[in-house]
Amino acid sequence: MTKICPWCEEEIADNDKLYESIRPSHHYECGIRMVMGSVAHQTHRCGCYVPGSTLHDREGVSVRQAARDAMEMFYLLRTIEKAREGDV
Ligand SMILES: [Zn+2]
Ligand SMILES: [Zn+2]
């Protein structure tokens, strides 16, 4: 049975890592993107933070690729956060 990721609407392959906290299952990166928001959102440059900003997911890439970008940004910010905590 073919499973489709509700976020990017691409097929979920047997060896894809899944984001299990939400049902139905999403690709891991798509789950992170849904929960944490786009790169622009995580870096506070989107319309939620900057009035009039239309920044959202990167244009010209697939929904899933934008989700991977968001996941990388999430890990990057988390690493920076941990490093800061270590400074104290
Ligand atoms: Zn997906
Ligand atoms: Zn936002």
Q: What is the pLDDT of residues 24-74, one digit of tens each?
A: 999 999 999 999 999 999 999 999 999 999 999 988 999 999 999 999 999
Distance 10 CA to ligand 2 centre (A): 24
Distance 87 CA to ligand 1 centre (A): 36
Would you say residue 88 has pLDDT above 80? no
**Tokens coding 12:** 């979920």
Distance 32 CA to ligand 2 centre (A): 14
Distance 6 CA to ligand 1 centre (A): 7
Distance 5 CA to ligand 1 centre (A): 5
**Residue of 3, 16, 7 lying closest to 63 (CA atoms):** 7
For residues 25-63, one letter each, b for 16 or more C-beta atoms within 10 angstroms of the residue's C-beta and e for the rest, the string is bbbbbbbbbeebbbbbbbeeebeeeeeeeebebeeeeee
pLDDT at res. 34: 96
Q: What residue spans define the domains of the chain?
A: 3-87
Q: Dihedral (C-alpha) 32, 21, 26, 2: value to the nearest 10 degrees?
A: 170
